[in-house]
Amino acid sequence: MIPISFIGRTTKDIVVQTAESGTKYTHFTVATKSGGTPKEQKNLFFDCTLFNADAERIAKAGVRKGSHIHVSGDFNVQEYGKDGEKRYSLKVTDVKWKFVSGTSSKKDTDENVAPSTEAPAETTGSSYEEVSLDNDDLPF
């Protein structure tokens, strides 16, 4: 797996579902733009999945369509065929996320909800651990 980190907006409200096995999960997409000048940029859509307590946590946090979030996790590309053409799906697993401070969704603005003045709390999956680096540890 390849580590990835990006900022984008969710494309729909978060909904927690339950599989036949009893496992709770949520599947959501985060839209962002590729790098480069505005003419060179392309829209990118990353499919993210969270399970059990992590799925419930993101739903309870109020993430909904248009929420501006930072996502990190393991990146992979899944190839599939549609109408005889090769297509690719961008997947992020082992997702860790947090709200991007000072922003709100369009829905928040439309409903005249005042943005919070508190710093957003980071919400992570169970495999997140704090890393402390000394300048001597950096390769440059």
Kindly give the parts of the chain with pLDDT less than 70. Answer: 101-140
* Domain layout of the chain by residue ranges: 2-124
Nearest 5°: phi and psi at 77?
-110, 130
Of 51, 25, 65, 24, give the one whose Cα is nearest residue 125: 51
Supply the pTM of this predicted model.
0.67
- When the candidates are 2.40.50.140, 3.20.20.80, 2.102.10.10, 3.30.360.10, the CATH number that belongs to 2-124 is 2.40.50.140
pLDDT given for residue 12 in this prediction = 94
pLDDT given for residue 84 in this prediction = 86
pLDDT given for residue 111 in this prediction = 35
